[in-house]
Chain A
Amino acid sequence: MDDDDRVLMSELGGPSRAGGLPRALGWLSLAVGVGLLAVPDRIARLTGLDDAPAARGLVAVAGVRHLAHAGTLIPGRRATGGAWARLAGDAVDLALLARALPDRRGQRRRRVAVTTAVLGGATAVDLLAALHAGRVRRAGRRVIEVHIGVTVNRSPAEAYRFWRDVENLPRFMSHLESVRAEDLRRSHWTVRGPAGRHVEWDAEIVDDRPNRSVAWRSLPGTPVPNAGRVRFVPAPGDRGTEVRVHLRYVPPAGAVGRAVAALFGEEPAQQVRDDLRRFKQVLETGEVVRSEGSPNGLSVRQQVMQRPAQPLPATRR
């Protein structure tokens, strides 16, 4: 895993983030499972079930089941499925305890009741874990990831300097209305949406290596969680600089999400590619290149919806 992934993963979630709670439950299952199998008689006594003829067998089955939960939850790859399986096991255990309770009296009855209460608490935690893991997984599926590079005939230092001044970004990122630098790390971003709607968020630079790379991420609370890194690598053979962008963002559900999706177009990669082409134009030629057919410069939508190649009427200049 390279630096990119550590910075971007932690911000936007992925297996590692969902893994926290389910993994803890996995370790709990391991401990419980080992206990159930190692000292089944003591467990049976503690839970108040030692008088049942099937107790030993049921405890052993539960022990094996817990080891199986541990096997899926600790590696964390199938957190959602594992959490739901643990929940199903909880339900079976609770059903058995519910059947056992009315037959018991005295201390055994108290022990069954306490066991039921403890297991009920665990069930609630398992339910939370399963729901959370599901949410994370769905968000993970929505994460859009883009890797694109462009070669610019400028030195890495020049390219870095231009990009690092985040207020320059709207000069080549066509969907940005403005970026305001709050201080050296923090900035406030505004995106123009359809029908005059604005989407805004705050971002911070999380890793800054002069003349080499910049990584940023949105702060919590943004409708469009996003993070990215841009690297400035000397191109071989005196060809300038390879500017490589790695970007991840999560388009939100709902109306804002649709607005954002419309902004980024059907092909987010194409949008970023056009942004980088404009970045190249601005660095190499001084500004975004305009033609009569594409008076606003490069953009996916404009390339498809061309106006005729004749001068703009005075009102549209």
Chain B
Amino acid sequence: MKANVWMGTDRVKVVDVPDPSILNARDAIVRVTSTAICGSDLHLYHGFIPAMRKGDILGHEFMGEVVEVGPQVRNLRPGDRVVVPFPIACGHCVSCQRGLYSVCENSNPNAGVAEKVMGHSPAGIYGYSHLLGGYAGGQAEYARVPFADVGPLKVPDDVPDDQAVLLADVFPTGYMGAEMCDIKAGDVVAVWGAGPVGLLAAASARLLGAGRVIVVDRYAYRLRLAREHAGADTVDYSETDVLDALKDLTAGRGPDACIDAVGLEGHHGNAAVYAYDRAKQATKVETERPFALRQAILACRSGGIVSVIGAYGGFVDTFPIGAFMNRSLTMRTGQCHVQRYTRPLLGRIQRGDIDPSFVVSHRMKLKDAPKGYRIFQKKQDECTKVVLKV
């Protein structure tokens, strides 16, 4: 089959690889119909996530048709149309039973290595480095889905791929980012990053009753989407001082909750500040560029919540712990526990509460994956989200 594989920093390639097969009794094989490129795939593309190997199949956002199931999978049949959550979760450990699917205790075969880096191991993720399991990803014609009796959600025919594929990651991730804010009527929620996750976090904050949503980014076309689809106020950090702007918009209080939907490859309006962290990242003194996180902490009102859904991989420095501690802030984080959200969010889509597909800007063929990565990375052609059709 054809698959999009990582070939080194800034290089992906569509190559022929063997077809997947059932390895565990609870596996299913899915013929992929749509698979999206995620912002976090760009972190892998840029080589910022350790433990990638040449030839790794990328992709953790995919959906398709079940073609084969293992002997222990009784809820799915060949022909079922399913969307697959990106965290691989067994459903039977204590974490899974408490709904913390992205920290499943059993799904990372390389847990020993992950433990050395992170203290404890999180769940395995499709196509997301060997630190998180060494699983083949979904940017391919076929994919093996472990624990298929727990993760995949059947999608009714009247929900198109462009909406359903977003249930694999970005919509639940954005939604969880908003949910972690404990939004009460009238709350002001600020979101850093107007990528697909940030846009859907802003839209979800609206769904959950926020009085006002403010989105911070520097790309005019993305800020326009935030205004049009999430009813957000927008701040262009390349032109405006963000902390001043947020104080202004809230009459000095600061947002009640701040969502970091940027993660480890942030940009900063001040060239000197950007250069400081970029240099440290290049020399491996720190692995992240946490501008959004620092700013979110400084901006948040005292006693407020900082919700972190942007992806981080390692360590940061110059972390404003003084502001964080003295002002009684709360931080909530996590890779999204997607399995918890797929069904209710499918319901929201079917009821017409939201159409998340407004974030999809490009549809192209799997064989054009390298081009998709390039324009997504360079933000060319007003690119927000690329969905590859197989």
Residues in chain A within 8 A of chain B (CB atoms): 151, 153, 239-240, 270, 273-274, 277, 280-281, 284-287, 289-295, 297-298, 300, 302-304, 306-314, 317
Q: Which residues of A have CB within 8 Å of B112?
A: 270, 273-274, 277, 298, 300, 303
Interchain CB contact under 8 A, B94 and A292? no
Partner of B110, one of A281, A285, A303: A303
Within 8 Å of chain A (Cβ to Cβ): is B263?
no
Within 8 Å of chain A (Cβ to Cβ): is B3?
yes
Least Cβ–Cβ distance between B119 and chain A, in angstroms: 14
* Chain B stretch 67-107: residues in CB contact (< 8 A) with chain A: 72, 90, 92-94, 97, 105-107
Q: In the complex, A314→B26 CA distance in Å?
A: 20
Interchain CB contact under 8 A, A306 and B53? yes
Given A284-B90, A310-B3: A153 in contact with B97 (beta carbons within 8 A): yes
Least Cβ–Cβ distance between A101 and chain B, in angstroms: 70
Q: Please report whether the interface of chain A is mostly helix, strand, loop or mixed according to DSSP.
A: loop
A-B Cβ contacts below 8 A, count: 130
Interchain CB contact under 8 A, A290 and B18? no
Residues in chain B within 8 A of chain A (CB atoms): 3, 5, 17-21, 23-26, 51, 53-57, 72, 90, 92-94, 97, 105-113, 124, 127, 130, 133-137, 144, 146-147
Q: Please report whether the interface of chain B is mostly helix, strand, loop or mixed according to DSSP.
A: loop
Partner of B24, one of A240, A273, A290: A290
A292: nearest chain-B partner, CB-CB: B136
Q: Which residues of A have CB within 8 Å of B19?
A: 311
Q: Which residues of B have CB within 8 Å of A270?
A: 112
Interchain CB contact under 8 A, B26 and A294? no
B128: nearest chain-A partner, CB-CB: A309
Least Cβ–Cβ distance between B16 and chain A, in angstroms: 10
Q: Which residues of A have CB within 8 Å of B53?
A: 293, 306-309
Given A153-B93, A153-B94, A310-B56: A291 in contact with B18 (beta carbons within 8 A): no
Q: In the complex, A270→B113 CA distance in Å?
A: 10
21 contacts between A and B (CB under 8 A): A153-B93, A284-B90, A284-B93, A289-B107, A290-B24, A290-B146, A291-B110, A291-B133, A291-B136, A293-B53, A293-B109, A306-B51, A306-B134, A308-B54, A309-B53, A309-B55, A310-B5, A310-B57, A311-B20, A314-B21, A317-B23
Least Cβ–Cβ distance between A210 and chain B, in angstroms: 24
Extra inter-chain contacts (11) besides given A291-B134, A314-B21, CB under 8 Å:
A274-B112, A280-B105, A286-B26, A287-B24, A290-B109, A294-B133, A306-B53, A307-B134, A308-B53, A309-B127, A309-B135
Which 10 A-B pairs have CB atoms at the shortest separation, nearest pair first?
A293-B134, A308-B55, A294-B109, A309-B56, A311-B20, A292-B136, A311-B18, A285-B90, A290-B23, A310-B17
